[in-house]
Structure 1
Amino acid sequence: MTFLRVFRGRQGGYYCFLIFLFALALLPLGVDRLYSSFYLRFGTEMLIWGLFALSVDLIMGYTGLVSLGPAAFFGLGAYAGAITLLRLADSIWLALLISLVLCGIVAWVIGYFSIRVKGIYFAMLTLAFAQIFYEIAFRWRSLTGGSDGLIGVPDPTIGIPPYTLSLGDPYVFFYFTLAVVILVYFLSVRLVNSPFGRVLQAIQDNEERVEFLGYPVRVFKRRAFVASGMIGGLAGMLFALLSFVDPSVLYWFTSVDVLVMALLGGLGTLYGPIIGAAAFLFSRDLLSSYTEYWRLILGLIFVWFVIFSPQGLVGLYRVTKRRLLALWASSSMPILINKVVDDEDHADR
């Protein structure tokens, strides 16, 4: 398969995303040679927020549920993981297990009540649940540290003694996070392409028709909500290892940021929100170094995308690709392209 065929194919954006991941995997190689270790931390943060944005895409891009409370699961996963490491055991696997199970249970409960309503009522109900958890984290000082948060979370290790690696090493943690993101991404791809995922997309297109066909729509929505909540909790757990945990991880601003990331990248793609998270964080760091009104500028950029490129960066890529191919089609370039392709096909035979 030539690069030209990849570019022209329908999966061009997917292959570009794989190239993006490959380039990201090479990021640590340039630390202290081409750039400072700040970019290694930035890359790790980008992966964590990208994983969080992917969880939003599962319910918004494939199910059509607009939730304003994804911060509830992000913060819950962060607190659950941090408290486990601080007070129970210095085990990354136990912390991950507790975070996933707890977020799954809470997502089921929230989904049980929220999915009974639709539209703006569903969005506001999920926001209300997130704010409840924010208040609990802010006021339950003995467990959560209150406004001071949880500081001094120990760095767990991975591996089998004596061959262990500390996640306190930024290189180890970067590749661990990258492996988690890649694993969750491909599992999510399998999920949305399964019969279950196709029912979710059918619900998004025409919920009444799916219900008429006999599918338990609420059950499917609740399962998608649980899957999204568990992935969001996993992202929160990783964030607890990268930074300290305080009630801000549960605040509604966190939900707004991740929604912007998902929409900026492009919903219904799974890889688009990860790219959107990278673009959002890069723009944030760049703009905040020049002005304190960086959110205003990012808001204007977001409005531009909503109006002129509602499918986000992925949609912008697809439009640009079509225009370039149309430009090539109107020139003598297709003659050369067809000749190269024909020669390759002849060589393959």
Structure 2
Amino acid sequence: MKISATLSCNIIAIVLGCLALIVLPNALDLYSLINASVYISLALFALSMALIWGHGGLLCFGQSMFFGLGAYGYAVAGINLTDSTWAIPIGVLAPMLFAIILGYFIFYGRLSDIYFGVITLTATLILFKLANSSSGDAWHIGEAQLGGFNGMPNIPPLNMPFSPADPLSPQAAFIFAVVVLVLGYVLSKWLIGSRFGRVIAAVRENEVRAELLGYDSRLVKLITFAIGAGIAGMAGVLFATSVFVSPTVFSLSNSAQVLIWVVVGGIGTLAGPMIACVLLQILSAWLGTTGVIDPNIVLGGVLTLFVLLIPQGLLPWLIKHLPETLRPGKVKTAVTHE
């Protein structure tokens, strides 16, 4: 029996996730484990862009606004509610609601892809400026001080459900992050393989023809945009609980990096951008410790090399050079028919 590409990829993701859960919490020291949690959150951020751009055809230049809204949404809710049980869904729903409002005016206004990119970039710049200007006691939401360029203090960690007095250890927080990443990948893979996923692909390939077949392309793009915003918001939640929350979550560098991860990993794949994200983050961290060269220069060089030499991206290139029997969707198992 031939295993479908979606099922085989999901199995691989679950196996790798289980290995990470078993090995890394026991093998890494505290500092490395926290860094690994940060990489997991950024990989989820890369997944959000891989979904809306690679499969939805929505090139968003401001994906970091949803990442930042998720981080700030969690921080504000966590400080006021003192319980991450409710703060997590708020951190996911806040960017989704913002995406629905923004996307409604873009998609139902029939704005072109160029204006879509410009508007999302502009919205990110506005949020970055607003967050930077929110220092002082007057800038607060309930008990949560926004902190301006210094960031938000006293962000509560993740805790056991409905038990604020039982915060998760760094090991447990890492396990939670890995589980969320694997679930995000599996659900995204399921989505693009579903009937709605095929409609997304149809709208991406030929919007006019999809509408002639009776589909509302505006609604399809709006839903896709909102789902990507929710995934990015969850990534922001994980980032906030691993490091800190400051206006840098809205920065242009975040928006640029996620585009680089998708291009290097492979546009049209889900796992490729996630792998590229982790590898490039490790490379950037190592270059930062050496002080020999600016990591941004290296990232620009990597992007240029991939665009010129491996335009299909890292993962498709690797799969192309794998033996035929090891490629996703080509795995075969023997079955007995009674």
Shared fold per TM-score greater than 0.5: yes
Q: Which runs of 5+ in 2 are unaligned?
A: 141-145, 326-331
Q: What's 1:82 paired with?
A: 75
Q: Kindly tell me: are residues 345 and 213 of structure 1, through their superposed partners in 2, closer, same or farther at Cα, counting changes over 3 Å?
A: closer
Q: TM-score, normalised by structure 1?
A: 0.83
Q: Which amino acid aligns with 1:72?
A: M
Q: What's 1:266 paired with?
A: 266
Q: What's 2:51 paired with?
A: 58
CA contact (8 A) 2:125 2:251 kept: yes
Q: What's 1:28 paired with?
A: 24
Matches within 5 A, 1:36-55: 36-55=29-48
CA contact (8 A) 1:152 1:244 kept: no
Question: In structure 2, how many angstroms separate the alpha carbons of the residues matched to 1:220 and 1:181?
Answer: 24
Q: Which amino acid aligns with 1:266?
A: G
Match of 1:113 among 92, 105, 108: 105
Q: Kindly tell me: are residues 263 and 15 of structure 1, through their superposed partners in 2, closer, same or farther at Cα, counting changes over 3 Å?
A: farther
Question: In structure 1, how many angstroms separate the alpha carbons of the residues matched to 2:319 and 2:149?
Answer: 45
Q: What's 2:150 paired with?
A: 148
Secondary structure of the equivalent of 1:267?
Answer: coil
Larger Rg: 1
Q: 1:347: how far off? A: 9.6
Q: What's 2:143 paired with?
A: none
Q: 1:268: how far off? A: 2.4
Secondary structure of the equivalent of 2:88?
Answer: helix
> CA offsets, 1:138-166, max 9 Å, x none?
1122132111110221224114669x852
Q: What's 2:281 paired with?
A: 281
CA contact (8 A) 2:14 2:182 kept: no
Q: Which runs of 5+ in 1 are unaligned?
A: 327-340
Structure having the larger proportion of residues in helix: 1
Secondary structure of the equivalent of 1:219?
Answer: helix
Secondary structure of the equivalent of 1:152?
Answer: coil
Q: Which amino acid aligns with 1:278?
A: V
Question: In structure 1, how many angstroms separate the alpha carbons of the residues matched to 2:113 and 2:335?
Answer: 55
Q: 1:246: how far off? A: 0.7
Question: In structure 2, how many angstroms separate the alpha carbons of the residues matched to 1:345 and 1:92?
Answer: 46
* 2:65 is the alignment partner of 1:72: yes
Matches within 5 A, 1:1-349: 16-31=12-27, 35-86=28-79, 88-115=80-107, 116-141=110-135, 142-143=139-140, 144-159=146-161, 165-167=166-168, 169-290=169-290, 291-321=292-322, 324=323
Q: Which amino acid aligns with 1:207?
A: E
Question: In structure 2, how many angstroms separate the alpha carbons of the residues matched to 1:346 and 1:193?
Answer: 25
CA contact (8 A) 1:78 1:233 kept: yes
May I ask how many residue pairs the two structures share in their alignment?
A: 322
> CA offsets, 1:304-329, max 9 Å, x none?
112222232211212221xx559xxx
Relative contact order, CA 8 A, sep 6+: which one is greater? 2
Secondary structure of the equivalent of 2:160?
Answer: strand
CA contact (8 A) 1:71 1:255 kept: yes
Q: 1:75: how far off? A: 0.5
Per mean C-alpha deviation after superposition, the further-off stretch among 308-317 and 119-128 is: 308-317
Q: What's 1:337 paired with?
A: none
Identity across the alignment (%): 30
Q: Kindly tell me: are residues 113 and 292 of structure 1, through their superposed partners in 2, closer, same or farther at Cα, counting changes over 3 Å?
A: farther
> CA offsets, 1:215-257, max 9 Å, x none?
1101100010011111111111111111111101011111111
Secondary structure of the equivalent of 2:61?
Answer: coil
Q: 1:174: how far off? A: 0.2
